[in-house]
Amino acid sequence: MSLLQDDEVFAVILAVSIVASVLGTVLILRPFSSEKFSAIGLLDENCKIGNYPEIAVNGTEIKLCLFVYNHLGEPAYYKVVYRIGNNDTLPSNLTSSPAQEIKEWRVILNNDENTTFPISVPVFLNANETDKVALIFELWAYNMTSGNWEYTGLWTDLYINVTKGG
């Protein structure tokens, strides 16, 4: 190798080192700008998307799975509230459902952590409902500052036909 090639190799290595140092510094010093969010999902009994039950006998339980994800930038304490309702009692992104709470599940997740877990939920008809009901799952988060549960505006539902059985 000639002296000229050694100088060229040294110059390239020096240039790459300077660029890498500047880029590393920028990545370390830039502010965290990731969007903060939570997520909830309803899965079938095998914890997969699809193959949801369409019919259940009144008074029985069905098996499903819930998925909860935390991307808030800090640990979060969640609860999922289960209700049975209809078109008139579905939640919105601002208000939870007025239907009675039937069951709940709680979980603590670190930032960028998720969990998927099996659940069993009762299915029944209320006196004023038809044979089709909405199984409603709302995501709530615990506010450490106020000491209260707050509805996140996130929910999912599954419509199911309920038969009287035989």
Instruction: Work out how many domains the chain is built from and give that number.
Output: 2
- H or E stretch at 87: none
Q: Domain check: are 55 and 108 in the same one?
A: yes
Q: Domain check: are 99 and 64 in the same one?
A: yes
Host domain of residue 25: 1-30
Q: Domain check: are 11 and 56 in the same one?
A: no
pLDDT of residue 150: 98
| Cα-Cα-Cα-Cα dihedral sign, residues 92, 95, 96, 98 | negative
pLDDT of residue 69: 98
The structure's pTM equals: 0.79
| Cα-Cα-Cα-Cα dihedral sign, residues 92, 96, 101, 104 | positive
pLDDT in tens, the chain (166 residues): 554 566 665 655 655 566 556 555 544 555 555 899 999 999 999 999 999 999 999 999 999 999 999 999 999 999 999 999 999 999 999 999 999 999 999 999 999 999 999 999 999 987 666 689 999 999 999 999 999 999 999 999 999 999 987 5
